[in-house]
Amino acid sequence: MIRNARKEDAKAIAPLILVILEDMELPFVARYGVDQTLAVLEKGIQTEDYRYSYRRALVDEEDGVVAGVAFGYPDCDEPTIDKPLEAILQSMGLPQDEQLFTDPETFPEEWYLDTISVNADFRGRGIGSHLLAALPAFAKEQGQSVIGLSVDLGNPNAKRLYTRAGFEVVGQRMISGHQYDHMQKKV
């Protein structure tokens, strides 16, 4: 069942985000370790406006378990979505100037799918496809008619999934030292 994420989903969602952050080889994870990163993510999910706020997420819940999650935001929010991280880091005794992300990811006039991740126990069951199918309504609720995303050139399976869902490559972008195709779909 696809539903809006809730604050109490933080413990289940944080490890799903961590999978993506580790794939991206973000220096934050290497510097502070998995446990500290998970703690930061859990606090971030429970905020109102952070990049990974519960308010920016849909989950697919199967048998009472969060099977997958998708986070996104309108491009106009990109300049401010990481600002709440400062207070989270300060509350944990970490340097406030730390950042998970430093590179711009969005293209103009789009709702950007920042993260989509499926719990390993539920892979191969169409969870990613269900989340992708729910995104147009989520983006439209936020006044957007185009969904954009970045897919690592080294992940052809994900690119096939997005292509099947109607996304087309519209450009490329370097994010955290990795080359990505930027794909979009009109909704």
List, for residues 98-135, the tens digit of each pLDDT value. Answer: 988 889 999 999 999 999 999 999 999 999 999 999 99
Burial 80-107 (b: 16+ CB within 10 A, else e): ebbebbeebbeeeebeeeeebbeeebbb
- Would you say domain 2-186 falls under CATH 3.40.630.30? yes
141-160, pLDDT tens digit by residue? 999 999 999 999 988 988 99
Sequence spans of domains, the chain: 2-186
pLDDT at 82: 95
